[in-house]
């Protein structure tokens, strides 16, 4: 059954435009409350990131849940993985996150976690959607829900993060820079890394409601790289607005992306005898990571783009580690969802155990040059069915042999065809990508 409102990662859009409006969130809170009330008794956690519209949507959700007769525990600003953790450990009926993740402040969204700390099953989302499209009602006054602030939420999550690495490890010799993207980790990440012993320099930790992800964080790590060099730090950690992405910077100021970080964690788990199942990446995962894992004897399975699909593949193949180049890293042997802070701690643990710098660890995997060209589409075309495009693709794939690949896919959020080519020689890869992009334009009559 096709869903009307929920996408692959909840509901997201521009504030003030349907469905990201106060009246819709009121109705959504009520609809979710009706479903949760039917599923059992208990309370629902509501957390948010630091964007200004979070106040409005938090109030609307609280009102809707209350009208449906469901109790609410308000967490305030809290990283998405922290809400997943608290939902599980507090045995809440569900956790609700008000966030648009790495998007600018003028966007917002919502996603739900189940009592297991994982994304809601499709059937629950479909039940919520059916209630959204029905008239809203209010339970009798004696059955109205109540709302409370949960004062120790941050402290609980900080302790959980610290417990994801052995207490025997001493990080006191490390100087690190943390970029919190003016987001939900601003009051948590500095404490975590300071309390495990590291010397911490913090940037991007002064949210004003409008500066979340603004030229900072995991999507813009250039400022972090400059700060690492200025402070002669051992490495830098860039989180995104809701704390579920991680990009790092080594002591030379070089960016270390999600693929390289996943490889480092996989090798560490293998060396410790703790690696089980394959690593799950996506269609965009670098071929160099696949080849590097193969040399270690670890299989890579590719899922569709999106952490939801990575999670589904991990469950299906009994894996413990997966993620995306963008920095979503899922360590299922430590937590239930992508978590930037916990992933960074795993990298630090391997640096300490191996005695190697982040630069040395990432150098064990050779990334292949990857060129992505976005072609704006004026009409709907299927590149897999166009003879001209496929002819060029086959020629390019033959030239690349086993040392490269071609991927064409339609964007799920924009009118674009994404043309990706990777191989060992960057100039050739770039030429091939533009060659295929030109064929896509011809297919549209451009």
Active site residues: 101
φ, ψ for residue 331, nearest 5 deg: -110, 90
Question: Cα(92)–Cα(317) distance, rounded to whole angstroms?
Answer: 28
Question: Cα(196)–Cα(163) distance, rounded to whole angstroms?
Answer: 10
**What is the token pair recorded at 43?**
């309370």
143 secondary structure, DSSP code: G
Question: Cα(84)–Cα(341) distance, rounded to whole angstroms?
Answer: 14
Question: Cα(42)–Cα(70) distance, rounded to whole angstroms?
Answer: 7
φ, ψ for residue 302, nearest 5 deg: -100, 125
Indicate the helix (H) or strand (E) that contains 147: strand 147-149
Question: Cα(371)–Cα(434) distance, rounded to whole angstroms?
Answer: 9
Cβ 174 vs Cβ 199: under 8 Å? yes
**What is the token pair recorded at 79?**
């990283």
**What is the token pair recorded at 392?**
């060029």
Residue 435 exposed, middle or buried by CB count within 10 Å (0-12, 13-18, 19+): middle
């Amino acid at each position: 059954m096709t869903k009307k409102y929920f996408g692959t990662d909840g509901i997201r859009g521009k504030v003030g435009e349907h469905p990201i409006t106060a009246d819709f969130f009121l109705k959504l809170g009520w609809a979710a409350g009706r479903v949760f009330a039917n599923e059992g008794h208990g309370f629902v956690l509501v957390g948010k990131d630091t964007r200004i519209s979070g106040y409005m949507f938090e109030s609307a959700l609280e009102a809707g849940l209350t009208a449906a007769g469901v109790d609410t525990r308000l967490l305030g600003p809290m990283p998405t993985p922290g809400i997943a953790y608290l939902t599980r450990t507090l045995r809440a009926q569900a956790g609700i996150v008000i966030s648009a993740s790495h998007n600018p402040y003028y966007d917002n969204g919502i996603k739900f976690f189940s009592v297991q700390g994982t994304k809601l099953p499709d059937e629950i989302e479909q039940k919520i959607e059916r209630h959204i499209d029905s008239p809203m009602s209010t339970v009798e006054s004696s059955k109205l829900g109540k709302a409370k602030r949960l004062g120790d939420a941050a402290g609980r999550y900080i302790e959980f993060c610290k417990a994801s690495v052995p207490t025997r490890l001493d990080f006191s010799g490390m100087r690190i820079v943390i970029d919190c993207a003016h987001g939900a980790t601003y009051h948590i990440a500095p404490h975590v890394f300071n309390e495990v012993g590291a010397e911490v320099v913090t940037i991007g930790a002064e949210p004003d409601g409008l500066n979340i992800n603004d030229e900072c964080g995991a999507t813009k790590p250039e400022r972090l790289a400059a700060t690492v060099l200025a402070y002669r730090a051992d490495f830098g950690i860039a989180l995104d607005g809701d704390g579920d992405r991680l990009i790092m910077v080594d002591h030379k100021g070089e960016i270390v992306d999600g693929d390289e970080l996943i490889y480092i964690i996989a090798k560490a788990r293998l060396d410790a005898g703790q690696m089980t199942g394959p690593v799950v990446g996506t269609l965009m995962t670098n071929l160099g990571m696949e080849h590097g894992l193969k040399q270690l004897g670890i299989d890579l399975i590719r899922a569709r783009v999106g952490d939801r699909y990575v999670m589904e593949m991990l469950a299906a193949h009994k894996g413990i580690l997966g993620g995306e180049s963008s920095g979503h890293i899922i360590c299922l042997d430590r937590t239930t969802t992508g978590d930037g802070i916990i992933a960074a701690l795993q990298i630090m643990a391997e640096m300490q155990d191996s005695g190697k710098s982040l630069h040395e660890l990432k150098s064990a995997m050779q990334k292949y040059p990857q060129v992505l060209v976005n072609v704006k589409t004026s009409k709907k075309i299927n590149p897999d069915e166009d003879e001209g495009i496929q002819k060029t693709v086959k020629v390019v794939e033959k030239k690349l042999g086993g040392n490269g690949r071609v991927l064409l896919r339609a964007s799920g959020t924009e009118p674009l065809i994404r043309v990706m080519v990777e191989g060992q020689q960057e100039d050739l890869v770039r030429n091939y990508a533009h060659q295929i992009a030109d064929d896509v334009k011809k297919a549209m009559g451009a």
